[in-house]
Amino acid sequence: MATVVRIVLSVLFIIQHASAHTANATKVSSTTLIPPGKNSFESKVTKNEEKVPSSANPSPPPKFPQNIGDWSIKENGVVCIEIIGAIQIIYNHSIAGANQTEITTLDVPTASKESGNCGNATQMLSLAWESQNQTNCTIRFQFEIKDKKISLTQGKVSISTGNTTQNFNIGKVNDFDTPMTYSFQCKTTLTVPMDNNATLKFANLKMQAFRPDNSVAFEKQITCSEDNVGTGLGVTAKVFLGIFIVILIVTLAGGIFWYFRRFQNPTAAYNNM
């Protein structure tokens, strides 16, 4: 009896050992059959590779006169000052540590930060930006109401490099005067002289202060003299063209009349001799 029991236990041990070996073989086989690219490590690598930022260089800022910005000052939901246009500054830059200057050109960036106020008698818009070599630049426009007109009373440029600050002021501020509720506009490149041999240039300029509301982007306009010169030449050319056309028509009509009269009445030509 004991012998039979030992035989049965041996058979059960062999069967159990064979089942465990088969299960391990199946587990190893299923692990090696995982297709490449489907495990979590490879998926994570793929995601990280997709998030690598592009190494392409950003496009350079637009140059004058393409650097057209749109700056405004708002108070209580109403835009009191708005300036649209391209602006460029040309000045003599003082070289640090040397008694020399060099002509420098600065294009006002379209992303310049505006600040200012909307007063009842005085309004101001200031632009600030940082140029190359840690140069801080500001340009300030101040408007006032004088004699029922809107006058640009101050146009000031400040350029600071290190401990050196250069200031430039617009000389002919009266050129920007407009009646109340009018805007100043100039499509032509407008060159404005400043003191200290500096120059301020505008292109496609639209400027208005003391705006009453937001109903119209820009009110009735006063154009710069540069635009008016072109308009005057255009009007003069049209007048001369009209006179030339009238003379041409009269001459052709007279020639046609004389031609038909001569051939309809041949003796008329001899009688008139």
Residue 223, domain CATH: 2.40.160.110
- Domain hosting residue 184, numbered range: 68-228
User: What is the pLDDT averaged over residues 132-137?
Assistant: 85
In whole angstroms, what is the distance from residue 156 CA to residue 200 CA?
10
pLDDT score for 38: 43
The answer to whether position 95 is within a domain reads: yes
DSSP assigned state of 176: G
Predicted pLDDT of residue 68: 97
- Please write the tens of the pLDDT for every residue from 109-123: 999 999 999 999 999
Q: Does residue 8 belong to any structural domain of this protein? A: no
Please report the pLDDT score of residue 174 as a whole number. 87
Q: How far apart are CA 189 and CA 197, in angstroms?
A: 19
CA-CA distance, 248 to 230, in Å (whole number)? Answer: 27
Residue 55 lies in a domain: no
Phi/psi at 34 (5° precision)? -65, 120
Sole residue written with tokens 């050109």? 105
Residue 20 domain-assigned?
A: no
- Indicate whether 14 pLDDT > 50: yes
Across the range 166-170, mean pLDDT stands at 95
Predicted pLDDT at 46:
40
Strands 135-146 and 164-169: unpaired
The owner of tokens 């088969």 is 22
**φ, ψ for residue 148 (rounded to 5)?**
60, 25
Q: How far apart are CA 6 and CA 120, in angstroms?
A: 113
With bands split at pLDDT 50, 70 and 90, how would you rate the model's confidence at 258? Answer: low
Q: Could you give the C-alpha distances from 161 to 20, 155, 246, in angstroms and in order?
A: 82, 20, 65
Q: Which amino acid is at 55?
A: S
- The pLDDT score that the predictor gives to residue 40 is 40
Instruction: Note the pLDDT of residue 263.
Output: 66
Calculate mean pLDDT across residues 2-16: 53
pLDDT of residue 253: 76
Number of structural domains found in the chain? 1
Looking at residue 149, its pLDDT comes to 95
Tokens of 34: 């995982």
Please check the confidence at residue 47 and state whether its pLDDT lies above 50.
Answer: no
Amino acid at 129: W
**Cβ(190)–Cβ(205) below 8 Å:** yes
Mean of all residue pLDDT scores within the chain? 79
CA distance 189 to 89: 13
Could you tell me the pLDDT band of residue 124, with boundaries at 50, 70 and 90?
very high
Q: DSSP secondary-structure letter at 173?
A: G
Quote the percentage of the chain above a pLDDT of 90: 47
Q: Which residues contact 152 (CB under 8 A, 6 or more apart)?
A: 141, 142, 143, 170, 173, 176, 177
Residue 58 belongs to some domain of the structure: no
What residues have CB less than 8 Å from 85, skipping those under 6 apart? 68, 69, 202, 203, 204, 205, 206, 207
| Higher pLDDT among residues 94 and 19, named by residue | 94
Task: Confirm whether 117 is domain-assigned.
Answer: yes
Which whole number is the average pLDDT over 128-134?
A: 86
**Residue 216 maps to a domain:** yes
107: in domain: yes
> What pLDDT is stored for residue 58 in this prediction?
75
